[in-house]
């Protein structure tokens, strides 16, 4: 691969303030401190080079090397017992028709992972900084498997997730620009814990390749999603302050009766009142306020507990599944009867599963949960725009 291409994977369309990409740079093991790892060539073959493109060695199928952070000096490479040197940056460039590698960190509790495509490895804070340079659709498939595999086995559901994941990636390519890459592999961006090995997910990514969601200005949307709405999604401004025209609450009967549609949590009455008083300075000594604290009804989503305490704060502080709950007293206990799982903004995954089962199309589902959006191809979105390196 041409080194300029490798280092300039992402093309920025500066004039239009937008971004187009074929490959993206994703920092992997972003939330772990990796000092040492084995790198195995699983498929294809790889060329390891320094930052100037000078070849260090080739890895063929079943070959491996050890990569180790050497203080602030760089990455030490060992082939068996032989040291090949210490390098500020190591590029692992795939040269075969299908290139797959495995990373096996030498640390307890961190499992090995397989990835597609290429690597950029350096040292940061005396640990390995590992960036997967990955083709967009390989990344999308990996995200789907990491985020939702097991919740459904329906091809159309995977297509929905592919479109959402691709839209998120493309709309957030600048998220870690200051750090020198596009996205990380944790929930800060999207979960991405290795290459996909599920054929149906690959099929979904392939059949929707390049498709993204845009608003009425042809700008890619924030494709927020959650596990289950509990029967009603919520406006974006009620959770994240910012009002977004396509993220408006809808009545969502499709989420009823699914695994995450209801939940319950129990407190003793004294513990509940103590929580309200200590966390939120709630006046439990006032008779009227005390009576209100023991009863709270949410038939439709609200934003505050009795108009004073933000429900999003209660969800976080009390580790609740959602903000969509009612409160009732039963004997010496307080029961929270909850609905839904997650922040409630945008698409309900379990609602989407139900809609697909009932015969709705992929586009029907997307346009139900995201208002006034369109489905377009990335190539069409940026057609005619000058690409600048």
Tell me the pTM: 0.89
Torsion angles phi and psi, residue 105, rounded to 5: -60, 145
Give me the half-sphere count of Cα atoms (radius 13 Å) on the Cβ side of residue 318: 27
SS3 label, residue 217: coil
Element (H, E) at 291: helix 287-293
How far the first Cα of the chain sits from its last, in Å, is: 17
What confidence score (pLDDT) does residue 152 get? Answer: 86
SS3 label, residue 145: helix
Measured CA to CA, the distance from residue 182 to residue 131 in angstroms comes to 10
What confidence score (pLDDT) does residue 47 get? Answer: 97
Measured CA to CA, the distance from residue 120 to residue 98 in angstroms comes to 18
Where are the domains positioned within the chain?
A: 3-135, 262-339
Element (H, E) at 365: helix 362-369
What confidence score (pLDDT) does residue 317 get? Answer: 96
What confidence score (pLDDT) does residue 346 get? Answer: 97
Q: Where are the alpha helices (DSSP H) in 92-241?
A: 136-148, 155-171, 199-207, 237-240
Measured CA to CA, the distance from residue 191 to residue 185 in angstroms comes to 5
Q: In terms of Cα–Cα distance, which of 147, 139, 114 is closest to 205?
A: 139
What confidence score (pLDDT) does residue 4 get? Answer: 38
Other beta carbons within 10 Å of 71: 9
| Tens digits of pLDDT across the chain (389 residues) | 444 344 344 443 332 334 445 899 999 999 999 999 999 999 999 999 999 999 999 999 999 999 999 988 999 999 999 999 999 999 999 998 999 999 999 988 999 999 999 999 999 999 999 999 999 999 999 999 998 877 789 999 999 999 999 999 999 999 999 999 999 999 889 999 999 999 999 999 999 999 999 999 999 999 999 999 999 999 999 999 899 999 999 999 999 999 999 999 999 999 999 999 999 999 999 999 999 999 999 999 999 999 999 999 999 999 999 999 999 999 999 999 999 999 999 999 999 999 999 999 999 999 999 999 999 999 888 774 433 32
Q: In terms of Cα–Cα distance, which of 49, 39, 56 is closest to 91?
A: 49
């Amino acid at each position: 691969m041409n080194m300029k291409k490798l280092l300039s994977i992402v093309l920025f369309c500066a004039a239009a303030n937008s971004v187009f990409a074929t490959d993206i740079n994703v920092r992997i093991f972003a939330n772990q401190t990796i000092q040492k790892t084995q790198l195995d060539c699983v498929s294809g073959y790889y060329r390891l080079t320094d930052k100037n493109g000078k070849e260090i060695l080739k890895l063929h199928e079943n070959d491996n090397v050890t990569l180790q952070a050497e203080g602030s000096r760089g990455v030490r490479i060992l082939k068996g017992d032989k040291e090949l040197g210490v390098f500020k940056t190591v590029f692992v460039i795939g040269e075969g028709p299908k290139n797959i590698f495995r990373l096996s960190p030498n640390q307890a509790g961190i499992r090995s992972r397989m990835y597609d495509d290429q690597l950029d490895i350096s040292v940061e804070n005396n640990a390995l900084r590992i960036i997967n340079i990955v083709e967009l659709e390989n990344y999308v498939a990996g995200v789907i498997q990491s985020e939702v595999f097991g919740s459904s086995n329906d091809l159309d559901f995977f297509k929905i997730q592919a479109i959402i994941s691709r839209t998120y990636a493309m709309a957030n390519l600048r998220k870690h620009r200051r750090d020198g890459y596009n996205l990380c592999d944790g929930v800060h961006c999207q979960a991405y814990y290795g290459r996909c090995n599920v054929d149906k997910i690959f099929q979904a990514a392939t059949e929707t390749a390049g498709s993204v969601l845009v608003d009425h200005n042809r700008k890619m949307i924030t494709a927020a999603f959650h596990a289950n709405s509990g029967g009603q999604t919520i406006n974006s401004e009620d959770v994240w302050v910012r009002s977004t025209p396509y993220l408006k609450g809808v009545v969502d009967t499709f989420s009823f009766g699914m695994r995450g549609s209801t939940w319950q949590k129990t407190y003793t009455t004294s513990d509940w009142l103590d929580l309200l008083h200590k966390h939120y300075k709630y006046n439990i000594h006032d008779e009227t306020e005390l009576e209100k604290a023991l009863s709270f009804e949410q038939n439709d989503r609200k934003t505050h507990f009795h108009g004073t305490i933000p429900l999003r704060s209660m969800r976080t502080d009390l580790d609740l599944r959602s903000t969509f709950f009612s409160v009732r007293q039963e004997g010496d206990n307080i029961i929270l009867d909850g609905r839904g799982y997650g922040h409630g903004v945008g698409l309900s995954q379990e609602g989407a599963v139900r809609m697909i089962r009932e015969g709705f199309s992929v586009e029907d589902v997307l346009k139900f949960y995201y208002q006034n959006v369109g489905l377009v191809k990335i190539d069409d979105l940026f057609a005619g725009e000058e690409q600048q390196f």
